[in-house]
A and B are shown apart, each in its own frame.
Chain A
Amino acid sequence: MLAILVMAIPASAQQCLSMLEDKRFTLVVPYSPGGGYDGYARVFAAQFEALTGSVMRIRFLPGAGAMIGINAVAQADPSDLVLGLFNPTILLNNKIVGSDSPETSSLVLLGSLNTDTTAWIKKEDKQVLFDSSEPRLFAVPGNSDFTRVLLPGYALGWNINLIRGYTGSGEGLFAVLREDVDFFFSSSISMANQIQSLGGLTTFMTLTAGPDPIFPEAAYLAGAGGVVEQLTRELNVEQQRERQEIARLSVELAKSYRAISISSSVDSRLVDCLLAVVETTIFSNELQSVAAEQNLTLEPIDGTALKEEVDRAEALIESNWDLLQQLVARYQ
């Protein structure tokens, strides 16, 4: 199997396999074991080892909203060969709300195993109207509420209140089932599983610019036929444009990439080599079949394309910076 994998690597990249052979890599996952990134880390590490002949240990470094692990990757000594598996849009979210975190330029994105979207969940038998002015209550875990709730909420023109302090997605969904809150939000893939497990819940809307492949029947936020378009028909053109712009930004920032990265202080030849090897690993049929066995959805993106996506989101932030800061000031 290794021979087939090696043959799949371009000739230039084949040279770098000798550079990686017998090396000891560490893959940092800045979340607790057993979470949504755990399975991806294990299958990726096994495949990477098989391809390169290296050893890749997984270290879980949770805490401080993933910042402990992300800093460990960004500040790692280049000779330590530390890769990270996390969502780089966290850094953009932190930049908007002013939290301390490394710049995206301090990391080189090597590729992504999977891209997930965000879904808003409500109780199945609870009637919720899109165009009502009544206040809506959201259960909020972690620190990503600005980009996944308040920003899309602004695009919708909703009056949103947050109940902060939930410790995980299970708790948030329980709160919806108990009708303590009206909505909860989380990544679509994990929501699909949890909706099936818990029962009594449904997807209200996805933060996408078209039908979400996981919830194709659900309403979506941005773009033609999206909820924002329907709700802003009465507004003037300029207001419609601004709302759509914010909706599109919400969609970009609500994406969750399971991205592999390394500190940008690493030697550029090694980075080039890793870009090729990670690309081969994440697009390999072997990884696809192992992931399928473990019910993990793979939707790989190579490092270059991933960087373009993150850069596009960053450019959107820059062009809407003043408005975003006004919103941050209003909600905090």
Chain B
Amino acid sequence: MSNRLINWFRFASPHNFYPLAGRMIPVFWTLSALFGIAGLWMGFFVAPTDAQQGEGYRIIFVHVPTSWLSMFIYMVMATWSGIGLSLNARLSSMMAQALAPTGALMAFLSLWTGAFWGKPMWGTWWVWDARLTSELILFFLYLGFMALQASIDDPRRADKAGAIVALVGAVNVPIIYFSVKWWNTLHQGSSINLAKSSMAVTMLWGMLLMALCFWMYSIAMALTRVRTIILERETHTDWVKELPEVKT
């Protein structure tokens, strides 16, 4: 019985993880494409036109999933950083590093699509709403993490320094969110109500499918990036030199 259990620590070594990631990437790309097609079909053809917002609301099928993922990826990144720091696991730090650009992209897309949505709905590209502001700050935190890692030459030191930034940021994200929220409500009161009344079931499904699509995309991207990072950092090892894609 015991020999049928997978030894998860086996995959903590870049040498074993590299081929596994290679096999997982096509799976996640396929899932992403399937969920994407289904989600877009739901979003464009099945979901009804919103009574108040017209057709413009359909941007939420991109906006909401990217916002969710930007926050979720930060959490995952901080978790990997914490594991990397406490267990001194190289691969965990590499995962954190691989996730950061995707997270930053999601935060950026969320802000961008939010602006596109805000212009027709609120009549303005930007308001100092609590959610928008904390999303912007989250984007800054991603940039800080990436900038710090990029400017340290020694990869191990970059990993650890980045891990501390990610963890400090993770502690701060809720504080920032609530402070911005209270700041905003103290100033002008909540002028925008984001809560949608009785959202149609098809809309919700479209959104969930798109969220899954973006989720799978993020995993595929992170795995692709982590494979590149492994190759970069392990060029001196024999197993990398033996790889067919490196030999040619």
Q: A and B, one complex?
A: no
Q: Interface residues, chain B, CB within 8 Å of chain A?
A: none
Q: Interface residues, chain A, CB within 8 Å of chain B?
A: none
